[in-house]
Chains A and B, each alone.
Chain A
Amino acid sequence: MTVTSGLPESTVVTPEAPTRPTKSRRPRRQRLIHVVLLAAALITAFPFYAMVILSLQPGAAVELPSSLMPTSISFDAFRDALASQSIATWALNSTVYSVVSVVLVLLFASMAGYAFAKKRFFGRELIFWVFVAMMMIPHHLTLIPQYILVSEMGGLNTMWGMIVPTIANVQAMFLMRQFIQDIPDELIDAARIDGAGEFRVFVSIILPQTKPILATLGTFVFLWHWNDFLWPLVSQQSPQNYVLTVGLNTLQEQQTPLATVMAAAVVTFIPTLLVFIVLQKYFVRGVMMSGLK
């Protein structure tokens, strides 16, 4: 999760950026590459296609290959899925869990990241070292103590009990720190001279400068929480507190008709797809930055 310091934003490669020109004298090879890429894309996309197609054929026995090229479609499964009180509730829970978490993670990670990047204080190296070391500890190990802790605090089966333990996100803080380090000190000093206080500097200098990374990180955090399964699974025991992933798994376990499960899956998938399409640039950039050491 390293963003090379000193790497200007413009040199970070995005897939949209022009890459190497292909030799135009080899059209046959180009065609071959297109064929391979197209085949790979079709295979990759097949599960999504299957999900949508199966959700549109409620009641029908699934027969291959004709089921994959349906002659009639029906939205009954969606009507059933959306009419079901539980799926609507799960969607609301997922939304609250993801959106509130994004706001809190971004706020606290950027505040801490700013201090680590631009402030000198006693214990900085030690605290930072502990943070980084904690990234090595598998989530599965801390799951049980977290569960006990939240249980003791009376947070099981509550929204805050689900959200609060996920707030101190190390990767997020780390990324913010790396990015804020690249903001020139002169900007901060200039604001200082103009009489801005600490809080003012943070809000009107640091936050606006970090917009791109906030968008990247916000996308990541939203999807982490939207797709999160294990923590919501153990911390929420009654069905009206489930998030969509947990609810979806329950539907599947309960031998719900395939079309209904797939319709619920589509409902779960749509926000992911929307976020991905709108913020793809930021997301892809975030991944590519993490690989550049």
Chain B
Amino acid sequence: MTAREANPGQRPRRSIWRSNGAIAAYVFILPYLVFFLVFRIAPALYAGALSFGDYGLTGTFELIGLDNYQRLFDDPLFWNALRVTAVYTVIAIPVTIAISLAMAQLCNRMLRGMSVYRAIFFLPVVTSPVLSGIVWIWIFSPDGPLNWVLGLVNVPTVNWLQSGFWVLPSLALVSAWMNFGYDMLILLAGMLAIPQEYYEAAHVDGATAWQRFRHVTLPLLKPAMFFVLVLETVRSFQVFDTIYVMTGGGPVRSSYSLTFMIYDQGFGYFDFGYASAAGMVLLVITLIVSLIQRRVMRRRDS
């Protein structure tokens, strides 16, 4: 598609090359484009190449075909990383979205102090995951506040981050705490866009508050919900900072996610080719997920 076809009849037609706007346009784009080509496009292409090769520490590079992928699919570590990433995603997404939806519904009204509430809910979003992770390590520690509260109600205490079973739910909880404020605002924006008349009509028809939520809010909130779902999926597949800070992939690799594997193989063992192959798998998964989500959305629209 040429630029001219894309914008029919907006401006008097003239040759793209002769218009003085084009040269200025290139000048304006140039700095951005240079950085983009060198530090985004080239690394992306290079990552693909790396995954088919062996990068020596001395800077030598040798193509070895599909060996890295062969090794990856034979590696229990890789299948463990996929499982960890999948389990984490399956736990984190429903928890985060449920909390975000509930808080958006509660915040969708004029009450005194509402802006203060919203600001507090949003504060974890702007906080560094490293900082959040450090405080949450203390909250999850054996003598920490979480276990103290559980002890009050006589629930057996757990060593959250040292338990192979509880470590992923614990990390998912931190993720929910960090991100619900963001998702809440997006859902809130979606709710505020719903015409008030729909609620009035439902009210006249005698719908209860729950029915209004179920039959008016939820269906009309679908685009915002979808946006949040995509966001959370990408976030969950790419979680890294909190895992690095809080568990280091442990205990016994129970939180060794795909991103952690890429980091560990790359910068722990300096096996750049192998790490890039794992990275390509992450890319493929990301693409598949977004394709599925796009298809689902199209079906819903029609």
Q: List chain A positions with a Cβ less than 8 A from chain B.
A: 13, 15-16, 18-22, 30, 33-34, 36-38, 40-41, 44-48, 50-51, 54, 62, 64-65, 68, 107-109, 111-112, 114-116, 119-125, 127, 130-131, 134, 136-149, 152, 164-168, 170, 173, 198, 202, 223, 226-227, 229-230, 233-234, 244-246, 248-249, 252, 258, 261-262, 265, 268-269, 272-273, 275-276, 280, 283-284, 287-293
Contact = CB atoms under 8 A, between A and B. Distances in A.
Contacts of B135: 47-48, 50-51, 262, 265
B158 interface: no
B227 A20 contact: no
B28 A288 contact: no
Top 8 closest pairs, chain A to chain B, by CB: A291-B186, A119-B25, A145-B43, A141-B279, A112-B32, A168-B36, A227-B128, A145-B46
A202 B42 CA distance: 30
Given A47-B139, A149-B39, A288-B185, A108 B32 contact: yes
B280 A261 contact: no
A111 B241 contact: no
A112 B29 contact: yes
A191 B299 CA distance: 47
21 contacts: A15-B188, A18-B110, A20-B109, A37-B106, A40-B117, A48-B135, A64-B143, A120-B19, A121-B25, A127-B33, A136-B286, A143-B266, A144-B272, A148-B46, A168-B32, A230-B240, A230-B244, A272-B127, A288-B186, A288-B188, A290-B186
Contacts of A50: 135, 138-139, 145
B123 A48 contact: yes
A293 B223 CA distance: 8
B185 A44 contact: no
Given A149-B39, A265-B135, 17 more contacts: A15-B107, A37-B106, A41-B120, A50-B138, A64-B144, A107-B31, A115-B28, A120-B22, A124-B25, A137-B44, A138-B237, A138-B238, A147-B267, A167-B35, A167-B39, A168-B39, A291-B190
A22 B110 contact: yes
Given A45-B120, A140-B262, A36 B106 contact: yes
B3 interface: yes
Contacts of A293: 223, 227
A111 B35 CA distance: 13
Interface string B137-148: 111000111001
Interface of B: 1-4, 6-7, 11, 16-17, 19, 21-22, 24-29, 31-33, 35-36, 38-44, 46-47, 50, 55, 59, 103, 106-111, 113-124, 126-132, 134-139, 143-145, 148, 177, 181-182, 185-190, 192-193, 196, 223-224, 227-228, 237-238, 240-241, 244-245, 259, 262-263, 266-267, 272, 275-276, 279-280, 282-283, 286-287, 290
Given A33-B109, A165-B39, A269-B127, A252 B283 contact: no
A141 B108 contact: no
B263 A134 contact: no
A140 B128 contact: no
Q: Which of A21, A47, A114 has the most CB of B within 10 A?
A: A47
A13 B42 CA distance: 39
Contacts of B245: 249, 252
Q: Which of B22, B123, B130, B263 has the most CB of A within 10 A?
A: B130
Q: Which of B128, B266, B287 has the most CB of A within 10 A?
A: B128
A176 to B, nearest CB: 10
